[in-house]
Structure 1
Amino acid sequence: MPLSEYEQRVLEQMERALTSDDPRLANTLQSSGHRPVMRYVIAGIGLVVGLLVLVLGAANSNVWLGVVGFAVMFGAVGWAFAFAPRAKRGPEGVVGADGNVNARTSHPAKGAANGSGFMSRLEARWDRRREQGR
């Protein structure tokens, strides 16, 4: 059953409000959620095979077989997570009342001298907490 025009307008207004209130959540909800399942299945099989080879090497007192098993396990897990797809980023900026995205004009450099780096923010939070505790 299709939505009425009123319901469609209300739904669009709710979507714009969500996007303006929390753009990160809106981008997360709009993402396709596609995960490379086959990559994880193959890595899981490699992990199990490596573990079996490792146990077999330990049971037979073959150090080299245990090292090969560990290397297979490590390689399988590394392969699974090394080439994970990056999250798609939506448009950056502020959503206006009309629903259009106003792009940011300037992006401060990471770790710039203006003190907006990660450590500077952590230090500022720490200082605020210490002042509130007094």
Structure 2
Amino acid sequence: MPLSEYEQRVLEQMERQLSSDDPKLVNTFQGRASSGLRRWVLVGLGAVVGLTVLVVGAATSNPIVGVLGFIVMFVSAVLAFSPPRRSGPTGVVGPDGTVRRPGTAPKPSRNQSFVQRMEARWERRRDERGR
């Protein structure tokens, strides 16, 4: 169910207030922006080091050094194209003790009828609103 315009304004106002009151807490929940830059610097450095070791291995006719350089370059390329890990909550524990991903609704039981599932959904919404 989407939020009304009033609820969206109140939520935005609360977010602004929180970010002005405690920016450290907001940064903790949002993650660090510098970690993306640090990741790219490390990946680039790994690729340059791997290429250098590969060239040294080829120049000295040492295949082991060349293979190690290739492996370092390959790992750097894999890290560059893989999505970054997200820190934060990995699951939400439901009232019945099951763990699910945040933002996903729990799956309804197959033993319940359509009407029972709708009643349970209605009750959850009422509970969320505090009534």
TM range (shorter): 0.3 to 0.5
TM-score (norm 1): 0.37
| Higher RCO by CA contacts (8 Å cutoff, separation 6 or greater) | 1
